[in-house]
Amino acid sequence: MKYRFNRYLLAAFVILLLSSTVTFLMLANGRTVRAASLLFNDVALDHPAYQLCRQLIEMGAVRPYPGMNLAPFEKISADDWNYALLRIGEELGRVIPESAQFASNQEISGEAIVSRVQQLLNDDNILPTKTGSNDSRLSAYFFLERYLLESND
């Protein structure tokens, strides 16, 4: 009786192991379950960043850091912001004014990001006026996608 129970337990474990391996391989290789075609090494597959910035990632406006890292909570650089604006302008078929760009990293703050997006939309009431010190890459990309791309759909 004891050996039969052990065999059943071993068989159940093997089935569980095989099914989880097959499920993992299907999810990892299936493009339909991914939020974006570009995967970052420092962000898990189910991280909300893929949904918050999906369109920007797909159009190539989000440049990865070395090692294919997104670094979503680091301060966005002026180069990354300006590059994202350039790609959005190309995608929308419009010229983004230079006044929306940042000349240096010292200019960037949460309030400056909100101000630049408000300026692009010509609407001071569409965004909150205070964001604290939220100048992260994820927050900046979210503002660009939410207010520039979705307002043009």
Q: What is the pLDDT of residues 94-133, one digit of tens each?
A: 888 999 999 999 999 888 888 888 888 876 666 655 555 5
For residue range 36-89, what is the model confidence (pLDDT) as tens digits?
556 788 888 778 888 888 889 888 899 888 888 888 889 999 999 999 999 999
- Least confident segment among 30-34, 68-72, 144-148: 30-34
Q: Are residues 63 and 90 in the same domain?
A: yes
Residue owning tokens 């791309």: 149
Provide the β-strand partners of residue 65.
Answer: 69
C-beta neighbour count of 102 within 10 angstroms: 19
pLDDT band (50, 70, 90) for residue 3: confident
User: Is 24 in the same domain as 67?
Assistant: no
Question: Considering its fold, how many domains does the chain have in total?
Answer: 2
Identity (one letter) of the amino acid at 66? P
Count the neighbouring beta carbons within 10 Å of the beta carbon of residue 1. 5
What Cα–Cα distance (Å) separates residue 151 from each residue in 94, 134, 148? 14, 22, 5
Give the range among 14-23, 41-50, 113-122, 141-150 with minimum mean pLDDT: 41-50
pTM for this one? 0.69
Q: Which two tokens stand for residue 48?
A: 């909300």
Q: Looking up tokens 């391996």, which residue turns up?
A: 21
pLDDT score recorded for residue 133: 57
What's residue 128's pLDDT? Answer: 59
60 and 5 housed in the same domain: no
Domain range for residue 75? Answer: 38-152
Say if residue 28 is in the same domain as residue 45. no
Contact 109, 133 (CB under 8 A): yes
Are residues 15 and 42 located together in one domain of the fold? Answer: no
Residues 42 and 84 grouped into a single domain: yes
